[in-house]
Amino acid sequence: MDATGKWAKRGVWLTLAAVLTIGCNPITLTSVLLRSETKTPAQFPLRPKEGPKKDKDEEIKVLVLASLAPGAMTSEFAGADREVSAAIAKLLPEVGKANKETFTVISGRQLDTFKTQNPSWRSMHAATIGKRLGADYVVELSMSGLQMYQPGALNNIYEGKAVVSVDVTATADASAPPQHYVHSFNYPGFPRSADSIPPAQFRIEFVNKLAQEIVFYHVDHKAAEGIAAR
């Protein structure tokens, strides 16, 4: 056997050893590697299929309007609407970048300035607000049913929940009905001892995971991103 053949044979054995070390068979390993490159399509994509911004190199500007429905939460989630908005503003461009798309979220400061200058902003159409702030789309979130602890568990068990009603409006056509969906959110998906992490840390994880799931409705993403997040 020549030197090339020896190195090729050695490479096969090293690969097999690596597979055995991580506890996977070659078929499973291959499926995992392939799945990591698979894109999960967005159910409600912010990128239009036709029009001037259909190409991925065109920037899409998004305004996020989040609110808490009356009686929507326990005291642990005061101000969660702003936190979820901020988390989406951070995550949406990151997921878009991984998908070779450019998304920009109108800053909370710009939105606050607009609200101050327009005291009757609540009566305005979402498309009007978005257009005046330079957004292509407005994503409205109305959050209800927020809870951190399992009911009746005396704050000893985490069982986060929320229901988010979402409307997506294109500012270019205010007459078109918004895309609408309702997202039922559970985190972490099973009861978790409140001794495991402080409430403040659980709230951060809850908000970030909720923001991620909302973003994934609107941007294509790799399956591995969802797996890692969970």
- Cβ atoms of 210 and 164 within 8 Å: the answer is yes
For residue 18, being part of any structural domain is answered with yes
pLDDT less than 70: residues of the chain? 1-37, 72-73, 223-230
Q: What is the pLDDT of residue 82?
A: 95
Are residues 6 and 77 part of one domain? Answer: no
Q: What is the pLDDT of residue 48?
A: 81
Q: How many domains are there within the chain?
A: 2
Q: Which residues lie below 8 Å from residue 77, measured CB to CB, with a gap of 6+?
A: 68, 146, 148, 203
Are residues 131 and 210 part of one domain? Answer: yes
Q: What is the pLDDT of residue 21?
A: 47
DSSP state of 75: G
For residue 152, being part of any structural domain is answered with yes
Residues of the domain holding 8 = 1-29
Are residues 106 and 213 part of one domain? Answer: yes
Are residues 105 and 22 part of one domain? Answer: no
Are residues 194 and 128 part of one domain? Answer: yes
pTM over 0.85: no
Are residues 60 and 16 part of one domain? Answer: no
For residue 49, being part of any structural domain is answered with no
Q: What is the pLDDT of residue 25?
A: 53
Q: What is the pLDDT of residue 4?
A: 45
